Amino acid sequence: MRAATKSTPKTLSDVEVRQLLTVTSRADRDIRDHVLLLVAVSTGLRLSELVALDLADVMNGRGVKSLVTLRAETTKGKRGGEIALPEKVRRKLVTYIGWKKDQGEDLSGASPLFCSRGGGRAGAERGSRLSARTAEHIFSTWQARAGLDRHHHFHALRHTFATRLLRATGNLRLVQRACRHGSVQTTTIYTHVTSEDVAAAAEKLTW
């Protein structure tokens, strides 16, 4: 009997990522949403791990960390691990934390990085930790505002990160470490070929 194969992961195209980040960056009052999605697609954090981040996780006495050690209890399988924050993301986080201060949000180390604005269907308290459900709704709303033709679930941002990282490096082991997979077999789902890969290859064959 042939072994079952995992389905190709759903990802956003480079154009869709740019559309999403461009439209969210234009709304000053929504800087939280812009940074939330930027961190997600730039680090490959799972949604539960993303909303579990505290200020102390990303900051130290010198500013925003370049390497973030995840608290084991917030990660899948409680395995812990590290994520890298690219310089562009660190700069955005500095701006965002300044914005949080202007909003009067708690900046103590144990306070959540991403906070609720309060209200909503769940009646969340302002300043409380952003829920995964609300983050999903945020992502859905901004996809519509950005005019994306396809609807993606939040986990597609993690798939997009991993696919782009593999495309850029060709190093499956590196992607395994970045995604904190227990086995490299899990990482092999990102060896799929995208339409953008085909288009880029075709360009190289032009006479």
**Which residues are tagged catalytic?**
46, 78, 155, 158, 181, 190
Least Cα distance to 150 among 181, 113, 195, 118 occurs for: 195
Judge residue 192's burial from the number of C-beta atoms within 10 Å of its C-beta, 0-12 exposed, 13-18 middle, 19 or more buried: middle
Least Cα distance to 90 among 58, 49, 133 occurs for: 58
Contact 115, 135 (CB under 8 A): no
Q: Phi and psi of 75, rounded to 5°?
A: -105, 160
In whole angstroms, what is the distance from residue 79 CA to residue 88 CA?
Answer: 27
Nearest 5 degrees, angle CA 128-CA 132-CA 133?
A: 100
Phi-psi group of 170: left, alpha or beta (phi > 0 → left; psi -120 to 50 → alpha; rest → beta): left
C-alpha to C-alpha distances, 111 to 54, 77, 83, 136, 169, nearest whole angstrom: 5, 23, 20, 21, 35
